[in-house]
Amino acid sequence: MDGFALRVAVVVLAFALPSWIVLSLLVVLGRVRYERIRREPTTALSSRETERLIRRMSRRPKTEWGKWRRVAALARLEQAHHPAVPRLVRAVLADPDPRIAAAAIRTLGDIGDEWAIDLLISELRTGGPRSRIAAELERLAPAPGRKLVRLLRDWNPTVRFWGATLLGPYPDLGESSLIALTWDPDPNVRAAAVETLGSRSGAAVGAATLACLDDSEWFVRVHAARAAGHVLGAAAAPTITRLLADERWWVRTAAKDSLRAVGTDAVPSLLSMLTHSDPFARNGAAEVLQDIGFVDFLALDDPSSPLLERIYAAGGEKLREAAETRAQGMPERRVEAA
Amino acid sequence: MTGDVLGAIVLVCLGYLLLTNLTYAALVVVSIVENAVRRHETASQDYEGLATSRFTIPVSVIVAAYDEESAIVSGVDSLLSLEYPEFEVIVVNDGSTDETLDRLREAFALEPYQVFVRRVFATAEVRCIYRSSNHPNLVVVDKENGGKSDALNAGLNVARFRYVCGVDADTVFERDALLKGMRRVVEDPARIVGLTSHLGIAEDPERTMAAPKGKRPIDGRPLIAYQHLDYLRAFFINRLAWSRLGFMLCSVGAFQIWRRDVLEEVGGYAEGFTCEDIELTFRVHERFLREGRDYEIHCLPDTVGTTEGPGTIPKLVSQRERWQRVIDETVWHYRKMWFNPRYRSVGLVGVPFYLVTEVLAPAFELLAIVLFPLAVALGVFDPVVFGVMVAAIAFMNAALTASAIFLEDLQSRTYRTRDLARLLVLAPLDLVLYRPIIVWARLKGSWRFLRGDKAWHKFERNVRAPA
């Protein structure tokens, strides 16, 4: 038994000990090399290295590892501004693995030239990793600008969705198309269109956002609630307040967010909801009145006000307790501030 | 006769050790591939762009805090400093008996508000919800004590965003922790339902994290250093390889990103188990595989933060026995998955792997510790043979540990070179200095599992330097 156990142990030790030594050396020497490279970074490529990288790029790797080595080669060539990059990036972009294609998209974003933008937009149409493409196009703003408007008329709803989303930072572009898209058959497109319209102004835009508050899809109503508040402010408050009684929680939440942003101008509409038959609507109205400071104002100014009692009745005992606790601390804070 | 039986048992134990270590060696090869792929992916990422992009997905970060007065402020501070376009931090004070809530109130100027939340999960009563006057994205939920799962469920009720990230209150995070985690999710939010990432360990995480990356110290005390090695092995040998092989079975409680709708679908964090993290990961796998749905749960090699490690042996034993118990509870609870082809690689490889290397390990370890010296004393084994066997096991462990250190450093370049060298030297001594403590804790945990004990036995926090 001794002999067998010893043979096994010796074999294991013969592998394990050198492995431990080699790996330890790899850690320490690898780290030293890394520190040296970090201290003296080089961007220029020697002709031999360039040849090696181009060779690697021209091969068709079968393994994931090989694909990533190809991506690394592309990044290195791009860093050195090699003229072959536009040709090579197309090859990586065509990779069926979206993570590999995403790396090429990042390279295109780094390049940022006219042809790179065109290629990104063309990929957005043909179906690359669209959120990554969108992120790069947004990073390149305002350059892609007018080219994005064309996406709003694409046959593919996904492309229209991204077109509408990407127009967010361009308040002067595509307004009429975006308004038209709030009637798109695809709800995702309607949601994106109304979200983008939320960063604009004007009567037509306002009317479009208000119309979307009655959309049949809840997530369109979510975006519409936020957009209407931004575009119309207090004028939209009565309509948005209605959404506090929406059947969907997330719509009610969006309505609350929007009314908070409108601020004290929303008070009259909110007060009208305090006696609503839906408890969610009553709670929501009381919560927003609390969040915009109206409850605190009443609690300090006129603690026995019937209006305050109505709000407490709508918001429940915890709302009262919280308001009273805050009110107790307020004079102290004023003194501290003074 | 007795000698033959003893010798046979010792050989079985040796065979077990050899088999598990060979499995780990195979996993290292898989981890090397996974690490390389993730490293290339990281290099091709535009983190600056991601940090300001509208196209990242907002995240609700949930911290369950029970008696965390010493760590809570720095932990929350590190969360509020995260670089991420849109996130909220929800701290759930789970009926702490110390000054956790007061510390939070003072540090973040909390004020009580009535917030109407969705009650998706039933939880212990919420006493009050606080908002911060100076951090609009901070919400503190003060509730009756109900356990960590109950607290996390209360946080889920308050969470507004599509992804949630459960974290521990004693962990200090890198500023780009969420970016690192979510970059993988953003690529495929329809399929990636859960994700975790590597965490470092220290006695005082704030002190470690105060040093710049690349120059971070690793605690000099051997007890903490060995725990650091344990974490490295767990992440870089096990989880990384599991992730590649499609059976990532433990999204760690200190940093676990989940898609909220998935948590709602599976019923949130379960309360019938000693800890919540492993069980939840098993449950999600079980549900998705049973229904034949396409999904992924990942572990990333990026170091996203540093968590507090027990500073004394009793504290360490208390923590590890709890971990062993929850592993036993979970593997037993999901026994229908064992070797079940319906659960694909999770049922055929992942859960059996857990069964062999975690659940049964304490029994083999106990046998080995008792019988090896006995066999030598009775003359079944020559002391020299025994010595060579111990050396072989120690260096096999050391080689595995060195590969974990190598992979971590290649990915994150976090720690000082001299500290890494010290870890490499400590590695072969793990078997005699650290492993016996863990074996004892695992035995204790297994015993308590058999007795049906489900108490938390939280370890008392280390004393930290003032912030």
* A130 shares contact with chain B (CB less than 8 Å): no
Q: Does A273 touch chain B (CB under 8 A)?
A: no
Torsion of CA A104, A107, A113, A115, to 10 degrees: -10
Pair B87, B191: CB distance under 8 Å: no
CA dihedral B195, B201, B203, B207 (to 10 degrees): -90
- Whole-angstrom Cα distance, residue A124 to residue A119? 9
Asked whether residue A333 carries a pLDDT value surpassing 60, the answer given is no
The pLDDT profile of chain B, 467 residues, written as one tens digit per residue, is 577 888 888 888 888 988 999 999 999 999 999 999 999 888 888 788 888 888 889 999 999 999 999 989 999 999 999 999 999 999 999 999 999 999 999 999 999 999 999 999 999 999 999 999 999 999 999 999 999 999 999 999 999 999 999 999 999 999 999 999 998 898 889 999 999 999 999 999 999 999 999 999 999 899 999 999 999 999 999 999 999 999 999 999 999 999 999 999 999 999 889 888 999 999 999 999 999 999 999 999 999 999 999 999 999 999 999 999 999 999 999 999 999 999 999 999 999 999 999 999 999 988 888 888 888 888 888 889 889 989 999 999 999 999 999 999 999 999 999 999 999 999 999 999 999 999 999 999 999 999 988 776 666 666 655 54
> Residue A233 has what DSSP assignment?
G
Residue A289: closest C-alpha in chain B: B114
Q: Which of A80, A98, A99, A75 is nearest to A89 (CA)?
A: A75
Q: Which one, of A116, A109, A113, A44, lies nearest residue A80 by Cα?
A: A44
Tokens of B283: 């449950």
* Cβ separation A65–B55 shorter than 8 A: no
pLDDT in tens, A38-92: 887 776 788 888 888 888 888 888 888 888 888 888 888 888 888 888 888 988 8
Bond prior to A142 in cis (omega within 30° of 0): yes
Q: List, for residues A142-198, the tens digit of each pLDDT value.
A: 889 899 999 999 999 999 999 999 999 999 999 999 999 999 999 999 999 999 999
Distance from CA of A294 to the nearest CA of B (A): 13
pTM of the model: 0.93
Q: Is the pLDDT of residue A25 over 90?
A: yes
Q: Integer distance in angstroms from the first to the last C-alpha of chain B?
A: 65
Q: How far A167 CA lies from chain B's nearest CA (Å)?
A: 12
Chain A residue with CA closest to B183: the answer is A132
Contacts of B380 in chain A (CB under 8 A): 1
Residue A337: pLDDT above 60?
Answer: no
Residue in this structure with the two tokens 């065979």, named with its chain if needed: B15
C-alpha distance from residue A269 to each of A262, A298, B19, B46, B328 (Å): 11, 17, 72, 45, 57
First to last CA, chain A: 87
Q: Which two tokens stand for residue A322?
A: 């919280």
pLDDT band with cut points at 50, 70 and 90 for residue A334: low
How do B126-132 and B110-113 pair as beta strands?
antiparallel
Give the model confidence (pLDDT) of A188-211 as tens digits. Answer: 999 999 999 999 999 999 999 999
Q: Which helix (H) or strand (E) holds A159?
A: helix A157-166
| Amino acid code (one letter) for B188 | D
From chain A residues 222-251, the ones with a CB under 8 A of any chain B CB are 249
Alpha carbons B93 and B141: distance in angstroms, whole number:
6
CB contact under 8 A, B45 and A8: no
Q: What one-character DSSP code corresponds to residue B335?
A: G
CA-nearest residue of chain B to A75?
B44
Q: Does the distance separating the beta carbons of B409 and A287 come in below 8 Å?
A: no
**pLDDT value of residue B14:** 84
CA B361 to chain centre: 19
Name which of B37, B113, B396 is nearest A12 (Cβ-Cβ): B396
pLDDT in tens, A254-305: 999 999 999 999 999 999 999 999 999 999 999 999 999 999 999 998 899 9
Average pLDDT taken over every residue of chain A: 91
Asked if the C-beta of B44 comes within 8 angstroms of chain A's C-beta atoms, the answer is: yes
A284 residue type, one letter? G
Instruction: List, in sequence order, every residue forming a beta bridge with B205; answer none if it has no partner.
Output: none
Q: Give ipTM to 2 decimals.
A: 0.92
Backbone angles phi, psi at B302, to 5 degrees: -70, 135
* Other CB atoms within 10 Å distance of the CB of residue A81: 10
| Per-residue pLDDT, B467 | 43
Q: Note the pLDDT of residue B409.
A: 96
For residue B195, what are the contacts with CB-CB under 8 A and spacing of at least 6? B181, B184, B185, B251, B256, B257, B258, B297, B298, B299, B300
A242: which 2 tokens? 């209605």
Query: What pLDDT sits at residue B460?
Result: 66
CA nearest B399 in A: which residue?
Answer: A20
